[in-house]
Chains A and B, each alone.
Chain A
Amino acid sequence: MSSDLTEKEMALIRQGIKEKYVRVAQTGSGGCFQYPTGAEGMRLQGYPLDLVKDFPKTILDSFCGVGNPFSLGPIREGEVVLDIGCGAGVDTLMAARMVGPKGRVVGLDVTEEMIQRAGANLSLVPSLNNVSFQVGETESLPFPDKEFDVIISNGVFNLTLNKAKALKETYRVLKPGGRLLLADMVLVAELPQERAGNVENWYQ
């Protein structure tokens, strides 16, 4: 798909996505999306909220995922987890609860402002000391081969221009037998002609 785009269009799309998420990072997820976000979104998707009862509301408020990756299978104590496109880190912190102190979770996002918010959210839960956040891009993951037991991602690959490359990277950093728990936006209806070529489709 990406081969149909010119360099200029790709740069425009990347810029648009960044600008949108800088905005989301600054204002919070409320009002930026057409689906329910925050704690209400999590409740609707059946998140195990009991696990994070002690998290302040501001953390849950920054959720803007499109589904519940944790509904796809258990994450076990002691496992090493990567959250690709972690945003403000709500899923990351929840995974950290699941793996416990013997496990480890890394949150990665391309938007620096998002990583800052994730760091701020983490500092609100002092009991978690198995989490780190870093800036990075799906298409070239800054990790060695076979590093993770589980990779989660929520609403990110649809924003990735070279999905084939991003998925190969995902495969590379997973351990053999490792699991990918993925929630993402997909096209469920044909785009009308007049919208089909719009760059805004990428970051709505």
Chain B
Amino acid sequence: MDFLALLKKAGFPSANFVKLTGFKSSPYTEGALFYAEKPGVTQEQEVSMSQKKALQAYEEFRGLTFGPGVLDLKTKYLIALGASLAAGCDP
């Protein structure tokens, strides 16, 4: 089996033969470059995913708060305005 096939079988489905390097150790063998990645989530992707989750949770909270309920929308906005002025920020 050739080396690229072995790489794929070992768990690198996107493994790539990139090119020959021109260095020959014999008339039959030459240097070659391969690139492979282990599939899965990187740390960066994980962070951006957890950010997404936080944003989703916030939007859900907002939707529920300002959705239909006992108080009408105007009252809720005025309470939010008062709370944010007291906290020192705009709503």
Contact = CB atoms under 8 A, between A and B. Distances in A.
A167 B35 CA distance: 13
A36 B35 contact: no
Given A68-B21, A171-B10, A188 B33 contact: no
A163 B8 CA distance: 12
B29 interface: yes
A167 B31 contact: no
A133 interface: no
Interface residues of A, number: 45
Contact of B32 (A65, A183, A191): A183
Interface of A: 1, 33-36, 41, 44-45, 65-69, 71-73, 155, 157-158, 163-164, 167-168, 170-171, 174-191, 195, 204
Nearest to A166: B10
Contacts of A67: 21, 23, 31-33
Contact of A177 (B3, B9, B30, B40): B40
